[in-house]
Amino acid sequence: MNPGNDAPAIRFEAGRWIMPGLATAHSHAFQRALRGRTQRRATRAGTFRGWRDEMYRLVEGLGLDDLYAISRFAYTELAMSGVTAVGEFHYVHHGPGGRPYADRTELADAVVRAARDAGIRICLIRTAYLRAGFGQSAVPAQERFIDPSIDQVLQDLNDLRSRYADDPHVTVAAAAHSVRAVPISGIRTLAAYADEHNLPFHMHVSEQRGELEECRAEHGTTPVALLSSEGVLSPRFVAVHATHLEDAEVSALGENHAFVCICRTTERDLGDGLPPTSGLLDAGARLCVGVDSHACENAFEEIRAVELDERSRREVRHAAAEAPVLLDAATTQGYTACGLEAQWQEDQIHLDGNDPSIAAIDPNCAPDAILFGATPRAVKTVVVAGKQIIAEGRHAQYDETLELYRKSLRKLELM
Cβ contact 27:291 at 8 Å: yes
Rounded to an integer, what distance in angstroms lies between the CA atom of residue 92 and that of residue 3? 36
**φ and ψ at residue 304, rounded to 5 degrees:** -70, -25
Cβ contact 242:212 at 8 Å: no
Cβ contact 30:88 at 8 Å: no
Rounded to an integer, what distance in angstroms lies between the CA atom of residue 263 and that of residue 204? 11
Rounded to an integer, what distance in angstroms lies between the CA atom of residue 91 and that of residue 256? 26
Cβ contact 264:306 at 8 Å: yes
Please enumerate in sequence order all residues whose Cβ is within 8 A of that of 117, keeping only pairs 6 or more positions apart, or say none.
72, 397, 401
Q: Residue 2, exposed/middle/buried by CB under 10 A (0-12, 13-18, 19+)?
A: exposed
**φ and ψ at residue 412, rounded to 5 degrees:** -85, 5
Residue 393 per-residue DSSP state: T
Per the annotation, the verdict on 292 as an active-site residue is yes
Helix (H) or strand (E) holding 23: strand 22-27
- Where b means 16+ CB within 10 Å and e means fewer, 340-379 reads beebbebbbbbbbbebebbeebeeeebbbbbbbbbbbbbb
Cβ contact 172:157 at 8 Å: yes
Rounded to an integer, what distance in angstroms lies between the CA atom of residue 60 and that of residue 293? 17
Q: Select which of 177, 241, 244, 395 is catalytic.
A: 241
Q: Select which of 147, 156, 272, 292 is catalytic.
A: 292
Per the annotation, the verdict on 53 as an active-site residue is no
Nearest to 161 by CA among 184, 128, 193: 193
Measured at the CA of 388, the angle between CA 164 and CA 31, to 5 degrees, comes to 60
**Residues recognised as catalytic:** 241, 292
